[in-house]
């Protein structure tokens, strides 16, 4: 599959693709026989409120809720739904979770299935914005990451690990560079990430996280 396959689609095609993705995930949600067991697999909790099923899980250091059978996703205490891409990420994480324990062994994007094919797009959407924003003052990455529950990690010149979900830690790494080498960055994942998110969602989640960090600094 060519790298260009992940180029940004036109708005109508994008909305159509989102609609199809929601249809698929709704079918998967409807097919889950044991909701409580699936909650255990992804670190979520579950309760009934009359005919409504409420699943609560952590997303970017915030409590997030899935309401069934409406398939509504919002932050706890809010009636406003998450943006479409983030809503889909939360639903995908829930339905795809296999409950695999974290290996605490990190892998780069290139080491993931199809990662080499998509790396150019991944670098452009995720790594480059971070390098452009934080390379001169990488310590600011630590400050902005704290807004998302991030913690310092021992990689590169500066690195932070953010738990996007309970079972999905993502580590962002920066090297300042010098007169000989330009600044560079990388993103590392626990080797079990494919047991929690499909490949395209890994790209989308990393991009969303990167831009939340960039916007956090601007604020």
Asked if the structure places residue 31 within a domain, the reply is yes
pLDDT at 9 over 70: no
Residues 116 and 44 in one domain: no
Q: Mutual orientation of helices 199-218 and 139-146 as an angle, nearest 10°?
A: 100
Residues 78 and 124 in one domain: no
Predicted pLDDT at 114: 87
Per-residue tokens: 84: 């479409």
Asked if the structure places residue 1 within a domain, the reply is no
Residues 90 and 112 in one domain: no
Residues 84 and 136 in one domain: no
Domain boundary among 96, 121, 147: 96
pLDDT in tens, 174-210: 998 777 889 999 999 999 999 999 999 999 999 999 9
Mean confidence (pLDDT) of the chain: 90
- Quick one: which H or E segment has residue 151? strand 151-152
Residues 182 and 163 in one domain: yes
Asked if the structure places residue 115 within a domain, the reply is yes
Residues 90 and 145 in one domain: no
Per-residue tokens: 128: 């480059």
Domain boundary among 37, 62, 96: 96
Residues 128 and 81 in one domain: no
Q: What HEC string does 34-83 produce? A: CHHHHHHHHCCEEEEECCEEEEEEEECCEEEEEEECCCEEEECCCCCECC
Residues 85 and 21 in one domain: yes
Distance CA 127, CA 110 (A): 13
Predicted pLDDT at 179: 79
- DSSP secondary-structure letter at 37? H
Q: Number of structural domains, the chain?
A: 2
Residues 91 and 118 in one domain: no
Q: What angle do CA 191, 20, 54 make, to 5 degrees?
A: 70
Domain assignment of residue 45, given as a range:
9-96
Q: Which of 69, 109, 106, 65 is nearest to 206 (CA)?
A: 109
Asked if the structure places residue 3 within a domain, the reply is no
Domain boundary among 96, 131, 160: 96
Distance CA 40, CA 99 (A): 7
Residues 146 and 69 in one domain: no
Predicted pLDDT at 12: 53
82 phi/psi in degrees, rounded to 5: -65, 155
Per-residue tokens: 168: 């999905």
pLDDT at 5 over 60: no
Asked if the structure places residue 101 within a domain, the reply is no
Asked if the structure places residue 162 within a domain, the reply is yes
Helix (H, G, I), strand (E, B) or coil at 4: helix
Q: What is the CATH number of the domain that holds 160?
A: 3.30.310
Residues 208 and 186 in one domain: yes
Q: Which of 55, 52, 23, 211 is nearest to 132 (CA)?
A: 211
Residues 120 and 211 in one domain: yes
Q: Which of 10, 89, 107 is nearest to 42 (CA)?
A: 89
Q: pTM, whole model, 2 decimals?
A: 0.88
With a CB cutoff of 8 Å and minimum separation 6, the contacts of 114 are 1, 199
Distance CA 199, CA 37 (A): 24
Asked if the structure places residue 116 within a domain, the reply is yes
pLDDT in tens, 79-125: 899 999 999 999 999 999 999 999 999 999 999 998 999 999 999 99
Average pLDDT over residues 20-37: 92
Burial code (b: 16+ CB inside 10 Å, e: under 16) for 166-200 equals bbbbbbbbbbbeeeeeebbbbbbbbbbbbbbbebe
């Amino acid at each position: 599959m060519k790298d260009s396959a992940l180029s940004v689609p036109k708005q109508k095609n994008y909305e159509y693709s989102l609609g199809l993705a929601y249809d698929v995930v709704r079918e998967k949600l409807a097919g889950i026989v044991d909701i409580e067991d699936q909650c255990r697999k992804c670190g979520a909790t579950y309760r009934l409120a009359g005919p409504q099923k409420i699943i609560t899980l952590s997303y970017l250091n915030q409590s997030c809720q899935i309401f069934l059978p409406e398939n509504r996703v919002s932050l706890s205490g809010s009636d406003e739904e998450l943006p479409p891409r983030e809503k889909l990420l939360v639903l995908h994480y829930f339905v795809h979770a296999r409950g695999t324990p974290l290996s605490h062994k990190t892998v780069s994007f290139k080491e993931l299935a199809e990662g080499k094919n998509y790396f150019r797009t991944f670098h452009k959407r995720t790594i480059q914005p971070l390098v452009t924003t934080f390379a001169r003052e990488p310590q600011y990455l630590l400050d902005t990451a704290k807004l998302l529950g991030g913690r310092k990690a021992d990689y590169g010149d500066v690195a932070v690990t953010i738990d996007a979900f309970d079972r999905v830690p993502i580590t962002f790494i920066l090297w300042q560079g010098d007169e000989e080498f330009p600044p560079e960055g990388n993103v590392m994942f626990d080797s079990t990430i494919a047991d929690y998110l499909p490949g395209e969602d890994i790209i989308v989640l990393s991009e969303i996280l990167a831009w939340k960090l960039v916007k956090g600094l601007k604020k």
